[in-house]
Amino acid sequence: MPPSLESLSPRDGAERPMPLPRIYFEKLLENSPDIVVAVDRQGAIVFYNDGARQTLGFGSDEVLGKPVQRVYKSRDHAREVMRAMRGSEFGAPGTVKNYETVFVAKDGAEIPVAISGSITYDERGREVGSIGFAKDLRQIRGRDRLATLGELAVSLAHEINNPLEVITNTLALLTAFVRRMATAEQMVVEGERFEVVERELARIRAIVDRVQALAAGDEYETRQYLPGTLMTDLRQAPPAAAVAPAPNVAGDTPSIAGLTILVVDDDLGVCRSLAELLRHQGCTAVIAGSALDAIGLATSRRFDLVVSDVVMPDMDGYDLYMELRERVPELPVILMTGYLYDRDHVIKRSKLAGLATGVLYKKPIDLERLKSIIHTHCAPKESRAAPRTSG
């Protein structure tokens, strides 16, 4: 049985409302999913609830009347908890809140717990024992670890996508050059080599997409890597149609030649490779390594369109869009992101604020789609108004 209500009364004897019948407290303590253990002044266990039985595995007959050290990792651990309870570092004197220690289950498993409890007194203020509620930290730490791993997975995928875009863009430029310079016979061999590289890049893109999908979801599959060691299965790739091919420099989409485009990304490799692709299409491409640099350029010279990354250290894509809308309202903006989803709602906020020029999800960029979006929002060069003067 748990300690009586009288034994749990405050030491100072302050008046309080009529207590609930004892049965309410007994049911609450007995059915709590947390570990609830009460001991007498000599440290013998006098109460041991169902949450303790389920978590530790000991039956009531195996612990009641036994020293409380039976459920601790060691005698020292038990003494440390009592010292903390008598001190004031982890709560008011006579109490402890969220003190972390280790219990040991019947099968020998060590269970990290956080104990909140207090010393109990009788109606005369004499110490009669203590009672503690211990929360199993394994699930809590497991959830925290999964959340951290999810954030790491998203960041890792984003960081992989940036150099992957540089490689893909550079490969497209190299492919176009070789096609111009190589003979038909040479292209048979070189074409096969390019296909191998593009196939392996597609595999990397599929893995990155899979990592981001896993980070956004709550289910995943594992497979055995070594005996006794499991690894997350990243081999489940999206359908072949969902894997974007390397940019087609000589695509069939309408020409965007003659346009002047500002490319904004804090990764200069992405900036330079995307700008080079656009130049290969006949555009004038200018790069900006930050949103602040982009604002300076956009307000000092004429651009037909801005292509900007969403996630940048000084200012995100939404803030950049809002600044450009205020300063150069007629300038179209396209946002691009390496994420499968709008993690920080940057794109959603931008659309609510009026962004209507299109969004490119998932680097590496699909050049043909980019060209289509640009062509949709930019008139041919010969029909555009004369350049505005800088203000």
Residues 199-208: tens digit of each pLDDT:
888 888 888 8
Quick one: CA dihedral 336, 339, 345, 346, positive or negative? negative
**Range in 16-20, 24-28, 64-68 the model is least confident about:** 16-20
Stretch 232-245: mean pLDDT: 49
Q: Please, how many CA atoms are within 13 Å of residue 102, restricted to the half-sphere of its CB?
A: 10
pLDDT 10s digits, 95-126: 889 999 999 999 999 999 999 999 998 888 88
Is pLDDT at 387 greater than 50 in this prediction?
Answer: no
Q: What is the pLDDT of residue 11?
A: 52
The CA distances from residue 280 to 19, 168, 176, in Å, are 82, 14, 10
Measure the CA–CA gap between 37 and 71, rounded to whole angstroms: 10
Query: pLDDT category, 190, cuts 50, 70, 90?
Result: confident
**Range in 19-23, 37-41, 180-184 the model is least confident about:** 19-23
Answer for the pair 351, 342: CB distance below 8 angstroms, yes or no. no
Cβ within 8 Å of residue 346, ≥6 positions away = 310, 311, 316, 317, 318, 335, 337
Question: Considering the chain, what percentage of its residues have pLDDT values greater than 90?
Answer: 30
Measure the CA–CA gap between 62 and 68, rounded to whole angstroms: 11
Answer for the pair 362, 338: CB distance below 8 angstroms, yes or no. yes
* Between 249 and 97, residue with greater pLDDT: 97
Answer for the pair 256, 374: CB distance below 8 angstroms, yes or no. yes
For the chain, what is the mean pLDDT?
79
Is pLDDT at 225 greater than 80 in this prediction?
Answer: no
pLDDT 10s digits, 283-327: 999 999 999 999 999 999 999 999 998 888 888 888 898 899 999
Q: What is the pLDDT of residue 153?
A: 74
Is pLDDT at 227 greater than 80 in this prediction?
Answer: no
Show the tokens assigned to 171.
């490969």
Query: pLDDT category, 390, cuts 50, 70, 90?
Result: very low
Q: What is the pLDDT of residue 12?
A: 52
Is pLDDT at 349 greater than 80 in this prediction?
Answer: no
Is pLDDT at 343 greater than 60 in this prediction?
Answer: no
Is pLDDT at 391 greater than 50 in this prediction?
Answer: no
Q: What is the pLDDT of residue 85?
A: 87
Query: pLDDT category, 193, cuts 50, 70, 90?
Result: confident
Domain boundaries, the chain: 22-141, 161-242, 260-383
pLDDT 10s digits, 135-148: 999 888 877 776 77
Question: Considering the chain, what percentage of its residues have pLDDT values greater than 70?
Answer: 74
Measure the CA–CA gap between 363 and 77, rounded to whole angstroms: 52
Report the length, in residues, of the chain: 391
Cβ within 8 Å of residue 370, ≥6 positions away = 307, 334, 360
Q: What is the pLDDT of residue 368?
A: 84
- Superfamily of segment(s) 22-141: PAS domain (3.30.450.20)
3-state DSSP of the chain? CCCCCCCCCCCCCCCCCCCCCHHHHHHHHHHCCCEEEEEECCCEEEEECHHHHHHHCCCHHHHCCCEHHHHECCHHHHHHHHHHHHCCCCCCCCEEEEEEEEEECCCCCEEEEEEEEEEEECCCCCEEEEEEEEEEHHHHHHHHHHHHHHHHHHHHHHHHHHHHHHHHHHHHHHHHHHHHHCCHHHHHHHHHHHHHHHHHHHHHHHHHHHHHHHHHCCCCCEEEEECCEEEECCCCCCCHHHCCCCCCCCCCCCCCCCCEEEEECCCHHHHHHHHHHHHHCCCEEEEECCHHHHHHHHCCCCCCEEEEECCCCCCCHHHHHHHHHHHCCCCCEEEEECCCCCCCCHHHHHHHCCCCCCEEECCCCCHHHHHHHHHHHCCCHHHCCCCCCCC
- Would you tell me which CATH number, out of the four given (1.10.4000.10, 3.50.30.50, 3.40.50.720, 3.40.50.2300), belongs to the domain 260-383? 3.40.50.2300
Q: Please, how many CA atoms are within 13 Å of residue 33, restricted to the half-sphere of its CB?
A: 3
Q: What is the pLDDT of residue 216?
A: 66
